């Protein structure tokens, strides 16, 4: 949020299921659960000045796909990680159009391109989010709205707490996103891990086949 304000945003709506008080000028907390269509629609009616929509809500439930309950976990993760962003784009597309076109920024994941042990459901949901974004990009272009898909490995957030590895600072990601938007890019590969995985998709032995192992 700080990066957007420093880049000139007059206001940033900070949406979450349990919003707290704003701790910096220009930030307006709003309540949002992306799995509740009525709340998404109501928020789009309330926030009529939005020009940049950031889809970064996500949940990760690890586990093997063959274990009991995995189908329910898959459904929950799809609802938040794939269907949620679609609902938001559908609701806010008219708002963005009225405000000159604007931008949709979809934060997906390097795991939209490969699956690690225990991430099958999460990876599937992120792959779906990526595919939906690719389809939406063409539809949004007709109204002058740009869609940027952001791929990264570990971002330094609550979700990655306890995970090992190099983590990208949110402020650094925001700076990269703003540059990519200015350059008119459609996708941003935000770190070395993501760039290496992307390059490995076309290898003789694709990277997504080489990282699978038993749980």
Average pLDDT for 140-144: 97
* Residue spans of alpha helices (H) in 47-116: 70-78, 84-98
Q: CA of 210: how far to CAs of 18, 60, 61, 147, 207, in Å? A: 40, 22, 22, 31, 5
pLDDT digits (tens, 9 = 90+) for 188-208: 999 999 999 999 887 777 777
Q: Is the Cβ–Cβ distance between 89 and 55 less than 8 Å?
A: yes
Backbone torsions φ then ψ of 125, nearest 5 degrees: -65, -35
> Domains along the chain?
1-29 (no CATH), 32-210 (3.40.50.720)
> 96 pLDDT band (50/70/90 cuts)?
very high
pLDDT of residue 30: 94
pLDDT of residue 18: 86
Instruction: Name the residue with higher pLDDT: 162 or 195.
Output: 195
State the first-to-last Cα distance of the chain, in angstroms, to the nearest integer: 38
pLDDT digits (tens, 9 = 90+) for 103-122: 999 999 999 999 999 999 99
pLDDT of residue 213: 45
Q: Is the pLDDT of residue 134 over 80?
A: yes
Cα(40)–Cα(30) distance, integer angstroms: 11
Cα(78)–Cα(80) distance, integer angstroms: 5
Cα(31)–Cα(33) distance, integer angstroms: 7
pLDDT digits (tens, 9 = 90+) for 45-92: 999 999 999 999 999 999 999 999 999 999 999 999 999 999 999 999
Cα(130)–Cα(126) distance, integer angstroms: 6
pLDDT of residue 214: 46
Q: CA of 143: how far to CAs of 73, 97, 101, in Å? A: 36, 6, 6
pLDDT of residue 10: 86
Burial class (CB in 10 A: 0-12, 13-18, 19+), 53: buried
């Amino acid at each position: 949020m700080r990066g957007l304000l420093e880049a000139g945003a007059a206001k940033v709506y900070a949406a979450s299921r349990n919003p707290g008080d704003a701790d910096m000028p220009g930030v307006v907390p709003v309540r949002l659960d992306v799995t509740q269509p009525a709340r998404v629609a109501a928020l789009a009616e309330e926030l009529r000045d939005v020009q940049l929509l950031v889809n970064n809500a996500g949940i990760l439930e690890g586990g093997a796909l063959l274990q009991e309950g995995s189908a329910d976990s898959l459904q929950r993760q799809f609802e938040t990680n794939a269907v949620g962003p679609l609902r938001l784009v559908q609701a806010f597309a008219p708002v963005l159009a009225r405000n000159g076109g604007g931008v949709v920024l979809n934060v997906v994941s390097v795991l939209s391109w490969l699956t690690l042990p225990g991430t099958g459901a999460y990876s599937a949901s992120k792959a779906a989010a990526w595919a939906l974004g690719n389809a939406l990009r063409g539809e949004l272009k007709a109204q002058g709205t740009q869609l940027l898909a952001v791929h990264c490995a570990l971002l330094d957030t609550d979700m990655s707490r306890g995970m090992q590895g190099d983590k990208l600072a949110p402020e650094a990601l925001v700076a990269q996103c703003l540059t990519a938007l200015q350059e008119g890019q459609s996708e941003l590969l935000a770190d070395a891990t993501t760039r290496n995985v992307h390059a490995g998709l076309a290898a003789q032995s694709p990277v997504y086949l080489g990282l699978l192992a038993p749980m």
